[in-house]
């Protein structure tokens, strides 16, 4: 008898800094399933979770895909294929590599969607994830500590109201760890022909290309954009001098600001969560050792320290121009030292800044104090005035209202670039 089974597959935490990439493993699995005539209903999904998760390798990404199956034998075949591949390809020797695989049959419930949002906003334990999976009837497989189930459950469960796509091109295994051989001019050409529908491919200052990772992983490059068509077009423009093994397009929550929580007052903000805060600058920016720039803001319920860290490079120059009473909307996250790590900000109102000076004499010379409460006296012509009130001299401000963001190099995967905010 033919059945109609919707099977969701979630995979996470198979890679380490020494190699592999869960996107590649997912791609290999999907290719193998295709050989059996089993094809996913849609693009596989690459889901970025809480950027502050402690045991992430790089960008805290988890993977999922969906299959429509017609028999229990096919379900068994799929589960066997997935688990065998995770066993043979995972970087088990990595201290923080603890793969997790999750299978779920049926429709995604609101409880599951809430779990997924929570995995972006909060930090979960393995026990919590395991209990949740059992409660909703998922089949989980833990390898080593099995921490990957936290992300795998979320990757299956998340609902994408906004989304982008990434085309990942993979290297031949014999080239892993060697310098990537790409025609750099072709990357600029691709950018010219596809931006702003693709984005973050060239660094904002335009002096280097940003599509290649710098790790020994299987990824040759990744191109990010708004639709599957545009990332595939862009991929076809890029010229590689080394052979591309294959490529795969992923549906993602990258660059959607899905991590940003709104309408949370500063007094209620928690460490390792990300927020949008409408506030006023209460303390001017200053540099600290290491090239980091710090300043303080308040929303009326509390004050927090904000930072543009050294890796945000030229963004720090913009941040240095902020002044007390400027009204801003900040986007970013509170790290575990309770410092707000800024990803971008909108300057709503540039507060006038002034310094107080002694008045000018009629003769044009700046007057001097004539003594406490005795007004001012001109040192040139001896003219006196009784008032002790100083005059305001307004200072020029070298910054305008508008959006400012970190350069591509320092952008979080989840952070929405300004170019997408305008679309």
**Interface residue list for ligand ATP (CB under 6 A):** 12-13, 15, 21-22, 49-50, 53, 55-61, 98, 119, 122-124, 147-148, 150-151
Cα dihedral sign, 91-97-102-107: negative
Residues pairing with 336 in the sheet: none
Cβ at position 97, least distance to ligand ATP in Å: 6
Q: How far is the CB of 101 from ligand ATP (least distance, A)?
A: 11
- DSSP for residue 415: P
- C-beta of 12: minimal distance to ligand ATP in Å? 5
- Cβ-based nearer residue to ligand ATP, 59 or 291: 59
For ligand ATP, the closer of residues 88 and 387 by Cβ is 88
Q: Which is nearer to ligand ATP, 62 or 67 (CB)?
A: 62
Closer to ligand ATP at the Cβ: 17 or 301? 17
Residue 291 DSSP symbol: T
Q: Which residue, 122 or 388, is less far from ligand ATP as judged by CB?
A: 122
Q: How far is the CB of 83 from ligand ATP (least distance, A)?
A: 17
Pick between residue 13 and residue 346 the one whose CB is nearest to ligand ATP.
13
Cα(358)–Cα(367) distance, integer angstroms: 6
Cis peptide before 277 (omega within 30 of 0): no
Instruction: Give the other-Cβ count within 10 Å of 173's Cβ.
Output: 10
* CB nearer ligand ATP, residue 155 or residue 406: 155
Residues 6+ apart with CB under 8 A from 178: none
| CB-count burial class (<10 Å; 0-12, 13-18, 19+) for 268 | exposed
Closest contact distance (angstroms) between CB of 55 and ligand ATP is 5
CA 386, 389, 390, 394 dihedral sign is negative
Comparison of 56 and 280: residue with beta carbon closer to ligand ATP: 56
CA dihedral 20, 25, 31, 33 (to 10 degrees): 150
| C-alpha atoms less than 13 angstroms from C-alpha of 331 in its C-beta half-sphere | 23
- Cβ of residue 30: shortest distance to ligand ATP, in angstroms? 16
Please state, in angstroms and rounded to a whole number, the distance separating the CA atoms of residues 73 and 332: 47
Query: End-to-end alpha-carbon separation of the chain, Å?
Result: 49
Which residue, chain included where needed, has tokens 């529908």?
197
How many angstroms separate the CA atoms of 412 and 303, rounded? Answer: 24
Q: In the structure encoding, which two tokens stand for residue 143, read together?
A: 């390898």
- Assess contact for 50 and 11: CB atoms under 8 A: no
Nearer to ligand ATP, 25 or 190 (CB): 25
- In the complex, what is the shortest distance from the CB of residue 225 to ligand ATP, in angstroms, rounded to a whole number? 19
Q: Considering the complex, what minimum distance in angstroms separates the CB of residue 347 from ligand ATP?
A: 31
Q: In the complex, what is the shortest distance from the CB of residue 249 to ligand ATP, in angstroms, rounded to a whole number? A: 17
SS3 of residue 329 by DSSP: strand
């Amino acid at each position: 008898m033919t059945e109609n089974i919707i099977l969701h597959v979630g995979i996470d935490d198979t890679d380490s800094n020494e190699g592999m990439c869960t996107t590649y493993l997912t791609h290999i699995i999907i290719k193998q399933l295709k050989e059996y005539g089993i094809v996913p209903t849609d693009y596989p999904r690459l889901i970025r979770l809480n950027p502050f998760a402690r045991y992430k390798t790089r960008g805290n990404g988890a993977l999922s895909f969906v299959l429509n199956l017609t028999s229990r034998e096919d379900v068994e075949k799929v589960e066997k294929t997935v688990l065998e591949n995770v066993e043979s390809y995972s970087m088990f020797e990595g201290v923080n590599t603890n793969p997790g695989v999750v299978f779920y049959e049926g429709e995604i419930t609101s409880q599951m969607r809430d779990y997924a949002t929570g995995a972006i906003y909060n930090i979960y334990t393995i026990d919590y994830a395991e209990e949740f999976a059992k409660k909703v009837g998922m089949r989980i497989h833990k390898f080593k500590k099995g921490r990957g189930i936290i992300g795998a459950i979320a990757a299956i469960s998340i609902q994408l109201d906004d989304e982008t796509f990434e085309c990942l091109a993979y290297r031949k295994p014999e080239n892993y760890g060697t310098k990537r051989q790409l025609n750099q001019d072709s990357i600029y050409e691709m950018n010219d022909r596809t931006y702003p529908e693709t984005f973050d491919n060239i660094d904002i200052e335009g002096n280097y290309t940003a599509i290649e990772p710098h790790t020994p992983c299987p990824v040759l490059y990744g191109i990010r954009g708004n639709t599957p068509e545009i990332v595939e077009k862009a991929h076809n423009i890029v010229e590689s001098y080394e052979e591309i093994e294959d490529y795969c397009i992923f549906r993602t929550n990258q660059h959607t600001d899905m991590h940003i929580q709104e309408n949370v007052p500063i007094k209620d903000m928690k460490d390792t969560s990300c927020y949008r805060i409408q506030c006023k600058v209460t303390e001017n920016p200053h540099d600290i050792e290491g090239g980091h720039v710090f300043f303080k803001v308040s929303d009326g319920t509390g004050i927090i320290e904000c930072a543009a860290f050294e890796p945000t490079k030229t963004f720090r120059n913009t941040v240095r121009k902020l002044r007390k009473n400027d009204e801003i909307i900040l986007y970013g996250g509170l790290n575990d030292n309770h410092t707000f790590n800024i990803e971008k900000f909108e300057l709503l109102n540039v507060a006038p800044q002034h310094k107080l000076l002694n008045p000018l004499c009629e003769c044009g010379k700046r007057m001097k104090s004539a003594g406490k409460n005795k007004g001012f006296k001109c040192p040139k012509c001896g003219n006196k005035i009784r008032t002790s009130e100083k005059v305001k001299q307004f200072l020029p401000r070298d910054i305008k209202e508008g959006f400012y963001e970190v350069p591509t190099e320092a952008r979080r995967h989840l952070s929405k670039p300004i170019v997408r905010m305008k679309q």
